[in-house]
Structure 1
């Protein structure tokens, strides 16, 4: 039985040493060493990396194929990410983009902007790239749109949910928007992932979710298995969202070329097995999880994860109305850009199906929407509370 911490221990290095010792012992009880188990995963990941480098990166499918039930499910499951062409009509996306500008300008947002409420995203000049706006009519309409529901249900259906979540119902997780203007110089975002931090090793629910990695049977690990992912609390100090997302995603409100500071992923859903086992090897200090800790994102570094980084792949050109999706465990980054050509505008809308964990947060969504507040997963900026034309 692995130890479980529901609250952050006062001596975090000691807790890390204890959980690593317990996981090692659990693996060795299977008759395999940690090194043998990791080697199995490493060989599998090497094959996937080779495939990605050979050109099998981001799948691109048409919304019409999703609607008709003919979209290539196996391809999306293999790569864990997808661009959906024509998710919304181009004219609809451009109209939403314009309406967001009208919404913030009519409420004097830029005159009252106080700077970024957190340092996870940067800012450009005196205006933000990431607008702390959640309740514009465009965002609310897009989240509730039947075409959004169609794509979310398709993506949810790629998972083995078996009662752990309802693939046909989404909680409508509110997130921000990005508007990056032409001429922007942006440093991008470093390579990381968002499902959590130390809770992935130190809570009972995730210990069950990753049970095949921790009991010496990595061949049975399935990154599409929702077992125990949708029920438990997060470990205090995690920096990501409170809900379970099957996929993270955004909807394009402008055309974006593939070389203009766009999203990159490592399109290998099973890479999580590599990340979870890597801290157990002898070259990592006993009180270190390859840099994973509380109050920071989960880092992916060349020091410990160089094999994975060989597969880092950018999205293709996208057009206004397309949407971009990636598995919740997927390693991703945003490339830097100098003198960006054209706008880079998106609405962040994930797939967050109805489940025990998301039901708890749904009450917060209702409260925040009713008052125009920033949702509790985000900095307490609350720009929209007094705006009369909220969605």
Structure 2
């Protein structure tokens, strides 16, 4: 599912011309969207500034006990994000953190350069190109995190447009990295961005179908949790673009961390993409410019183009070891530049993904890399772990873990 474009400026000009022709009142529609986003962003800012939570929080025990209320679910779908508390016992996760430190420091592994984030205003986070440590593999295959991710997958509308889009009850492995951020680190954050597509959102046919209600002007009918066409979009090939469809990006806290600790920030508005898409069609943008979007990079969200949304940019609440945070694949996120806390701010990146043809195809490519200890297909070919003592192998997999990574039982 790769999109190849020979002349990108021409493709952007063509796409903008078509989208404007199909939505002649694009100025008026955007004015409505801008007013609505301005109101919602300021409402969230007022709540945040009063010390009220703006990222919904769910107890993992309530997921297990089927006690999550309809009101909580509605809020998660409106904000496009949630914190799930106490997915893992604290003592277990603290041991994982110690084991990861030993695993990494044994080889004095330096952080892999991250070309994907190279166009963002802030510098690169302290992310390690490590994928197959035992704690990462144990967390991914755990019944607890699997149950949390199935819950999240089920928030999506998996059947629409007369088709079934994915199976929410099966959670394939998407091996990702680690963040180990020491206290006192400065300018190691990430400026605001979205993953899962950049210029393709305007250009590629299936992306346009995902956002069909936006581009037709019926933006209030847009449902960020409708999976129609999401698993069929095509992206420009890049060594730093996620090849899987993720219902939610996410990470698991290995240490205590909160605002000021160089942690995650979100714009908790699930349908903010409506604003981003229509903003690029306005007349102050050059015909070959989509608010600075670059192929093969994160979709940068900038104050000069998307100012109203920044009012809602909020740090996630204080996290304890074993807590998790998840955000919709279209939600704007960033990382605080400075870590002014006293301890390490460490996380394992573990997203929520469902079973579908797109993801199954990636599993088939990823499996040989796991068995060999190589970097997964989506990431730089550093292959740091090939000769690491103590990396996870197939012998460390449970029956659930084998199924999730695509090993035949």
1: CA distance, partners of 2:5 / 2:115: 26
- Residue of structure 1 equivalent to 2:35: 43
Alpha-carbon spacing, 1:390–1:178, altered in 2? closer, same or farther (3 Å): same
Deviation at 1:339, TM superposition (A): 4.6
* Deviating 4+ runs (over 4 angstroms): 119-122
- Residue of structure 1 equivalent to 2:181: 180
Unaligned runs of 5+ in 1: 123-127
Deviation at 1:115, TM superposition (A): 5.1
1: CA distance, partners of 2:307 / 2:155: 29
Deviates more, 1:53-62 or 1:179-188: 179-188
The answer to whether structure 1 residue 91 and structure 2 residue 83 are counterparts is: no
TM-score between the two structures when normalised by the length of structure 2: 0.87
- Residue of structure 2 equivalent to 1:141: 138
Deviation at 1:181, TM superposition (A): 2.0
- Residue of structure 1 equivalent to 2:107: 109
The answer to whether structure 1 residue 100 and structure 2 residue 97 are counterparts is: no
2: CA distance, partners of 1:247 / 1:276: 20
* Aligned pairs (5 A) from 1:213-362: 213-237=214-238, 239-337=240-338, 339-362=340-363
Kept in 2, the 8 Å contact 1:159–1:225? The answer is yes
Unaligned runs of 5+ in 2: 48-52, 119-124, 393-409
Aligned residues: 374
The answer to whether structure 1 residue 150 and structure 2 residue 151 are counterparts is: no
TM-score between the two structures when normalised by the length of structure 1: 0.91
1: CA distance, partners of 2:7 / 2:221: 34
Deviation at 1:172, TM superposition (A): 1.0
The answer to whether structure 1 residue 14 and structure 2 residue 39 are counterparts is: no
- Residue of structure 2 equivalent to 1:58: 55
Report Cα offsets for 1:130-166 as digits up to 9, x if no partner. 1111011100010000100111011111111112111
2: CA distance, partners of 1:214 / 1:331: 20
Deviation at 1:348, TM superposition (A): 0.3
2: CA distance, partners of 1:200 / 1:310: 24
2: CA distance, partners of 1:263 / 1:315: 6
State the SS of the aligned residue for 1:251. strand
State the SS of the aligned residue for 1:109. coil
1: CA distance, partners of 2:191 / 2:178: 19
Alpha-carbon spacing, 1:159–1:318, altered in 2? closer, same or farther (3 Å): same
Kept in 2, the 8 Å contact 1:238–1:296? The answer is no
Kept in 2, the 8 Å contact 1:6–1:203? The answer is no
2: CA distance, partners of 1:230 / 1:238: 19
Report Cα offsets for 1:38-63 as digits up to 9, x if no partner. 12322332232132112151112211
The answer to whether structure 1 residue 69 and structure 2 residue 66 are counterparts is: yes
* Aligned pairs (5 A) from 1:191-210: 191-210=192-211
State the SS of the aligned residue for 2:169. strand
- Root mean square deviation of aligned Cα: 1.9
- Residue of structure 1 equivalent to 2:407: none
2: CA distance, partners of 1:339 / 1:64: 32
Deviation at 1:295, TM superposition (A): 2.9
